[in-house]
Amino acid sequence: MQHAKEDPDSDYSRTAQKELLIKEDAMAIVTTAQNTAMLIRDLQELWLFGSLDTLADPADEALDTAKALELASLIEKLARQPPKTAEGEAVES
């Protein structure tokens, strides 16, 4: 049971540092999940009420393609950003 062994070099400051790192990582995961949920909600609204209407006139296809490409570039830009903590700082890997 390697994982159950106590760290001999452990002290209060190191334990506090590990706890802070875990909390920051957890907040980064929560923030990413919230941003993903907002993105999904926005996409659903666009599809149901707006420009992603699949039953629209084919003449609007060029405009829809331009909007879809813009949305895809925004999603790609968001995906390339490093995760951030609740304070907006980049999470170290």
pLDDT greater at residue 7 or residue 42: 42
Please write the tens of the pLDDT for every residue from 30-75: 999 999 999 999 888 888 877 665 666 666 778 878 888 998 888 8
> How does the average pLDDT of the chain come out, rounded?
81
Q: How far apart are CA 64 and CA 91, in angstroms?
A: 36
* Inter-residue contact 28 to 83 (CB < 8 Å): yes
Residues in the chain: 93
Over residues 1-11, mean pLDDT = 62
